[in-house]
Chain A
Amino acid sequence: MNGRELVRFATHSALSHRLRSVLTALGIGIGVTAVVLLTSMGEGLHRYVLEQFTQFGTNIIGINPGRSTTFGASTGIFGSVRPLTIDDAEALKRVPFVLNTVPVVQGTASVEGGGRERSTNISGVGPEFQTAFDFRVALGTFLPADDPRAPRPLAVLGAKMRHELYGERSPLGELLRVGGERYRVIGVMEPKGQVLGFDLDDTVYIPAARALELYNRQGLFEIDVLYDKAVPADEVVAGIERMIIARHGGLDVTITTQQQMLDVLGSVLDIVTFAVAALGGISLLVGGVGIFTIMTIAVRERTAEIGLLRAIGAGRAQIRAIFLGESILLAGIGGAGGLLVGGLTVVLLGVAVPALPVGIALPYVVAAEAVAVLIGLAAGVVPAQRAAALDPVEALRAE
């Protein structure tokens, strides 16, 4: 008997108990569907989060005041922590391969303009912010390249902010009060949406030095460094470290490359996907128990047939192959059905609810089918072995 004939034989006998075979295959099918669906959601979440993180590019390095090991609280215990200043940001521009640096100060403040008042996000940034983050201006211009230590009181509005204060009217040239200080509106940004809960459109952008004053702060929240993509991040980080040590007398900042962030995030999200796959795997296991049960019953029912096959020349290995083949077939077909249903559901979900982050996790899909077949194999081993071990005379007597 060659492989094709074995498959035909197995199909034939599986079809002689149609309902039973379908139900057994269904057990595996549901398991595979579960794996496909759950991992798709895991994968979707994964992609969603990573997209959020990488939309500004991956060649960004963040510098925060204080030294911390990973993402924990900064520890300024050993020696004093010098504040990160606008001068630091300017100096860092001279580090090799650094294209740009953006000083960042964030907070909230009350904003008055167009006869209305709002409490909103304030981003104190440098003029490089717009090019560094590829954030376009819809109206007017972005903050100009003033003296970074004494910039003029100019402001740029996020798209939502502009609507809230001025409606459809052009706000260019209007006066705006931010925390009591007078600013002149010179631009409106294009809508950008939320990034990890922070609404970039519901924000007023002002020069970093002025934000420091507004909040009465010594130092920046962060300096973002944009570097040449072609250069390894390590090299740039080394340059930044040298510069900080030279200026601060020690390394009292935390430097985080985008790649480090992505790596940590990625591994967390991988664990999530793996965990949901394992959950689906449990239902696959239940399906395997179903196959084991049905194959055990089949061997008992077909004992006389096994005796006959032995009498007309089947060796033990052939009997084993016949029953293993049947068990793998049931699992394989169930698995394929599960892939189809799961895959279709994912596609339909994607069409029906575009906001839902789903994406087929192909390695898990392939693994699910492989595991289904392996489960068929494992579940079939004991019944097939039992069938092969039957004594032909005893088997022929059963009826």
Chain B
Amino acid sequence: MAMIRLEALGRTFEVGGQQVRALDQVDLTIEAGEYLSIMGPSGSGKSTLLNVLGLLDTPSVGAYWLDGVNTSTMGDDQLAATRQAQIGFVFQSFHLVPRMTAAENVELPMLLAGIGGAERRERAHRSLAGVGLADRADHRPAQLSGGERQRVAIARAIVMQPRLLLADEPTGNLDTGSGAEIVRIMETLNERGLTLIVVTHDLQIGERARRRLRLRDGRVVEDLRAAQA
């Protein structure tokens, strides 16, 4: 059974009485453990697709099966619970809470999940160590470089041990060096079995993925699979 299956999925927005088709007739199957990049011009629906996959947004038409469950049957709380347990997000603008230290930011998902303080601290520390930031645990976001902030965000995204990691232009605000570092960290996670989907404008980064999706006007216009290395 495929981890993700989209069937004739569409997402329309209404802007000033006008229908905007952000996603149109998308059919897509993604297996667990895949490494997928999504590229395409601005406004082609990349972020919308990622939000739908991440259960932050719901399709207007069509169906989305996640692990064999039709997500349209899930209520708001169940969607939140599924995001919590299965899905990690990495955003272009990091989305760290500025008043909290790196460790506290990483603890946040566990705090919401009701995990006890001692275990939270232990797991946050391990997660931060995993992205090479063990010594920055007590720094606030403002005291960290862009690359370091994104690494904290990755540590937060994986601390609940999700099966799916969604990254929307994770290197968009970073220089080439730290961008490459972020990609390398995410690829390592993928090698350990995490399903990885990266939206990017950067061709070099996009071409590293084993499977490359190209969108235009809300449709999938290209779905390339690189030969197994």
Residues of A within 8 A of B (CB): 1-2, 5, 9, 12-13, 15-16, 304-305, 307-318, 392-393, 396, 399
Contact = CB atoms under 8 A, between A and B. Distances in A.
Contact of A311 (B77, B85, B89, B100): B89
A309 B56 CA distance: 11
A148 to B, nearest CB: 85
A392 B112 CA distance: 16
A311 B97 contact: no
A272 B216 CA distance: 75
B83 A309 contact: no
B113 interface: yes
Contacts of A315: 76-77, 80-81
Nearest to A302: B97
A307, A310, A316: residue with the most chain B Cβ atoms closer than 10 Å? A310
Interface of B: 51, 54, 56-57, 76-77, 80-81, 83-85, 89, 91, 93, 95, 97-100, 108-109, 111-114, 117, 156-157, 160
Contacts of A312: 83-84, 89, 108-109, 112, 156-157, 160
A316 B112 CA distance: 12
B54 A5 contact: no
Nearest to B104: A12
Contacts of B157: 312
The listed residue with most B CB atoms (<10 A of its CB), out of A15, A309, A311, A392, is: A311
28 contacts: A1-B112, A1-B114, A13-B99, A16-B99, A305-B95, A308-B97, A309-B108, A309-B112, A310-B56, A310-B83, A311-B54, A311-B89, A312-B83, A312-B89, A313-B84, A313-B109, A313-B160, A314-B112, A315-B80, A315-B81, A316-B76, A316-B77, A316-B80, A392-B56, A393-B51, A396-B91, A396-B95, A399-B93
Contacts of A317: 77
Contacts of B108: 309, 312
Contacts of B77: 315-317
Contacts of A12: 99-100
B99 A314 contact: no
Contacts of B160: 312-313
Given A312-B160, A313-B80, 10 more contacts: A310-B83, A312-B89, A312-B108, A313-B112, A314-B80, A315-B81, A392-B57, A396-B56, A396-B91, A399-B93
A223 B30 CA distance: 103
Contacts of A16: 98-99
A316 B54 CA distance: 17
B116 to A, nearest CB: 9
Contacts of B99: 12-13, 15-16
B56 A393 contact: yes
Q: Which of B83, B113, B156, B157 gathers the greatest number of chain A CB atoms within 10 Å?
A: B83
B214 to A, nearest CB: 23
Nearest to B76: A316
B95 A313 contact: no
B80 A310 contact: yes
A237 B160 CA distance: 81
B202 to A, nearest CB: 21
Contact of A313 (B57, B83, B97, B117): B83
B108 to A, nearest CB: 6
Give me the 9 closest cross-chain CB pairs, A-B, nearest first: A313-B84, A16-B99, A315-B80, A312-B109, A308-B95, A392-B56, A315-B77, A311-B89, A314-B112
A304 B95 contact: yes
Given A12-B100, A305-B97, A393-B56, A313 B113 contact: yes
Contacts of B80: 310, 313-316
Contacts of B56: 310-311, 392-393, 396
Contacts of A396: 56, 91, 95
A240 B104 CA distance: 80
Nearest to B105: A308
Contacts of A308: 95, 97
Name the residue in B56, B80, B108, B156 with the highest tally of chain A Cβ atoms < 10 Å from its Cβ. B80
Contacts of B112: 1, 309, 312-314, 318
